[in-house]
Chain A
Amino acid sequence: MSSLIHARGLVKRFGSFTAVDGIDVDVRPGEAFGFLGPNGAGKSSTMRMIGCVSPPTEGVLEILGMDPRRDGPAIRARLGVCPQLDNLDVELTVRENLTTYARFFGIPRAVARARAAELLDFVQLTERADSQVEPLSGGMKRRLTIARALVNEPDIVLLDEPTTGLDPQARHLVWERLFRLKQQGVTLVLTTHYMDEAEQLCDRLVVMDGGRIVAQDSPRALIERYSTREVVELRFTADDQGSYAEKLSGIAERFEVLPDRILLYVADGDDALAEVHRRELSPASALVRRSSLEDVFLHLTGRTLVD
């Protein structure tokens, strides 16, 4: 069996609420695999099942060839988990957070100390090694949480929304570190509701909505399959964007009318924009861009990812 994570018909219910509604997933060694979807799509519930802290309600789930229902501790010994909200011990130092956590994996003290030093270097926190965690910035705390997830040299690293809540600079620093991990051959499994994050990091991803998988492929293949090459974004000053849709008919393969703008899905954006101007429709602003996963998601679910 070549997949590290293998799920068939995986279901998670909380009472009468179905968080994950029968998904099939295979994660291969060395790839970065993403779960993309809006809040409430079932991404975190899926991650918690993979993290062996939440027993599946139904279906098959195998992780590293083992059954999480039975071998939870053995599987967790080979996972690294970076949760959505940092749960570091803010009263300990940066270094102590790593060394005490390493001990939970039965790693000898000397090894734990050496590994902590390496990891602090990797996440660029060596200078803060002996300061308390409390005053660290959000980005530093997240990098420390990532370092903690690596303390047992895991086969799979689970990252639940690794950059949610960080400022753009801190996000890029985290991405850069995760990209280096990927280059080192570590298997990454992450959830995100940021399409740029998914495009940056993921070799393959699934798009989730309402507990189900609605599409599955590489970011590029998904864009090719579910969207056009380019998108024209038009904003009109009139309150009713919808009334313009009729006047635009024939220009694009497909429209999406959003409350604040109209998206035209076309092969050539400049051509389409020229046609808009020829019809003497004067948008307040117009933007031509390449298609993104956001467009894929919009097409598949009829909704935007981040509201």
Chain B
Amino acid sequence: MTSVLEYHLVHYRRTWRSSVLSTLLLPLLTMVGFGLGVGGYVTAGIDGVSYLDWMVPGLIASTAVQTVIGEATWPVLSYFEWLKVYFAQAAAPLRPADILGGHLAFMMFRVLLSVTAFLVIAAAFGTLRSPWAVAVLPISVLVGLAVAAPVVAYSASIRSDSYLAILIRFAVLPMSLFSGVFFPIDSLHPVLRAVAWVLPLSHGVDLSRAATLGVNPGLDGLWQLLYLLVWCAGGWLLALSRFRRRLVV
């Protein structure tokens, strides 16, 4: 599995430049555009916190998700359909679990990279209100994996990239817009609220927010962690069965 991670890292050395834009610059622009721009009009703040401080942790969790989406969609489809990278790996003494695990590990590496950079900048803007903010790193990895694993399973099940556009527009974008990143989930219609709580991002946003604001999430926080772990485990099993079916026929 480590040799597969190593392969992706070597590959990333060639392609990291283009990913900096989408995984770091865009979230930063969003932070400035929304947090400062729109935040200037939210005069009352939220829960006694300025809009910028309230929104940044959500944006970090959302960035973790965007980062894994970039790697869990087109690359996975392409490694099965066009570049056949997975098949080359399967001819070596690697098992499907190694191939899948190595690629997921690489995605988590990228999450750590972009979230660390974001945290440093957020600290420079003075939006982190507690040393607990470092807990955002493991939380981001957890929510990243909770999204990455099932998305990899999806990407391994399709044959055309039209289905990726569908996933992004009908699942990823709505999740990013309605998971409590920009406004509190409580103001959603009860049905939408329930949907938001079923999806993983909202829990990542909640936990990250508790961390940067230094609020004790209590027992609820523990349940949220466990719930994200369920997404990770379920996604892993699904993805592994897809990988086995595609690589061993």
Partner of A53, one of B7, B10, B84, B248: B248
A51 near B3 (CB under 8 angstroms)? Answer: no
Partner of B248, one of A14, A55, A85, A91: A55
Q: Given A100-B7, A103-B3, A104-B7, answer yes or no on A54-B15 (Cβ-Cβ < 8 Å).
A: no
User: What are the residues of chain A within 8 A of B7 when measuring CB–CB?
Assistant: 100, 103-104
A81 near B15 (CB under 8 angstroms)? Answer: no
B247 near A91 (CB under 8 angstroms)? Answer: no
User: What are the residues of chain B within 8 A of A48 when measuring CB–CB?
Assistant: 249
B93 near A92 (CB under 8 angstroms)? Answer: no
Closest to B99 in A: A104
Q: Given A100-B7, A104-B4, answer yes or no on A54-B89 (Cβ-Cβ < 8 Å).
A: no
Could you list which residues of chain A lie within 8 angstroms of chain B, going by C-beta atoms? 14, 48, 51, 53-55, 72-74, 76-77, 79, 81, 83, 85, 87-92, 96, 99-101, 103-106, 148, 152
User: What are the residues of chain A within 8 A of B15 when measuring CB–CB?
Assistant: 91
B11 near A89 (CB under 8 angstroms)? Answer: yes
A/B interface sample: 23 pairs, CB < 8 A: A14-B249, A53-B87, A53-B247, A53-B248, A72-B95, A76-B92, A83-B84, A83-B91, A87-B84, A87-B87, A89-B11, A89-B85, A91-B11, A91-B14, A91-B15, A100-B6, A100-B10, A104-B3, A104-B93, A104-B94, A105-B92, A106-B93, A148-B88
Q: How far is the CA of A101 from the CA of B10 in the complex (A)?
A: 11
Q: How far is the CB of B105 from chain A (nearest CB, A)?
A: 14
Q: Which of B4, B88, B247 has the most CB of A within 10 A?
A: B88
Interface status of B20 (Cβ within 8 A of chain A): no
Interface status of B226 (Cβ within 8 A of chain A): no
A87 near B3 (CB under 8 angstroms)? Answer: no
Q: How far is the CB of A280 from chain B (nearest CB, A)?
A: 59
Known: A92-B10, A103-B3, A104-B93. 19 other contacts (CB 8 A): A53-B247, A53-B249, A55-B248, A73-B93, A76-B93, A81-B91, A83-B88, A87-B83, A87-B85, A89-B83, A89-B85, A91-B11, A92-B14, A100-B10, A101-B88, A104-B7, A104-B89, A105-B93, A106-B93
Q: Total interface residues on B, using CB and 8 Å?
A: 23
Partner of B95, one of A55, A73, A103: A73
B93 near A77 (CB under 8 angstroms)? Answer: yes
User: What are the residues of chain B within 8 A of A103 when measuring CB–CB?
Assistant: 3, 6-7
Q: How far is the CB of B166 from chain A (nearest CB, A)?
A: 27
Q: How far is the CA of A77 from the CA of B92 in the complex (A)?
A: 6
Within 8 A of A (CB), among B87-125: 87-95
- In the complex, the number of residue pairs spanning A and B with C-beta atoms less than 8 Å apart equals 72
Q: How far is the CA of A305 from the CA of B83 in the complex (A)?
A: 29
User: What are the residues of chain B within 8 A of A99 when measuring CB–CB?
Assistant: 10
Q: How far is the CB of B100 from chain A (nearest CB, A)?
A: 14
Q: How far is the CA of A54 from the CA of B94 in the complex (A)?
A: 14
Q: Given A73-B93, A74-B93, A104-B3, answer yes or no on A85-B88 (Cβ-Cβ < 8 Å).
A: no
B11 near A104 (CB under 8 angstroms)? Answer: no
Q: How far is the CB of A285 from chain B (nearest CB, A)?
A: 44
User: What are the residues of chain A within 8 A of B247 when measuring CB–CB?
Assistant: 53
Q: How far is the CA of A76 from the CA of B93 in the complex (A)?
A: 5
A87 near B88 (CB under 8 angstroms)? Answer: yes
User: What are the residues of chain B within 8 A of A54 when measuring CB–CB?
Assistant: 248-249
Q: How far is the CA of A87 from the CA of B92 in the complex (A)?
A: 13
Closest to B88 in A: A87
B84 near A106 (CB under 8 angstroms)? Answer: no
User: What are the residues of chain B within 8 A of A152 when measuring CB–CB?
Assistant: 92
User: What are the residues of chain A within 8 A of B92 when measuring CB–CB?
Assistant: 76-77, 101, 104-105, 152
A85 near B84 (CB under 8 angstroms)? Answer: yes
A76 near B91 (CB under 8 angstroms)? Answer: yes
User: What are the residues of chain A within 8 A of B90 when measuring CB–CB?
Assistant: 53
Q: How far is the CA of A14 from the CA of B249 in the complex (A)?
A: 9
Q: How far is the CB of A96 from chain B (nearest CB, A)?
A: 6
Closest to A51 in B: B91
Q: How far is the CA of A155 from the CA of B92 in the complex (A)?
A: 14
Q: How far is the CA of A99 from the CA of B11 in the complex (A)?
A: 12
Q: How far is the CA of A99 from the CA of B89 in the complex (A)?
A: 13
Q: Given A73-B95, A101-B88, answer yes or no on A90-B83 (Cβ-Cβ < 8 Å).
A: yes
Closest to A90 in B: B83
Q: How far is the CB of A18 from chain B (nearest CB, A)?
A: 15
Q: How far is the CA of A58 from the CA of B248 in the complex (A)?
A: 16
Within 8 A of A (CB), among B205-249: 247-249
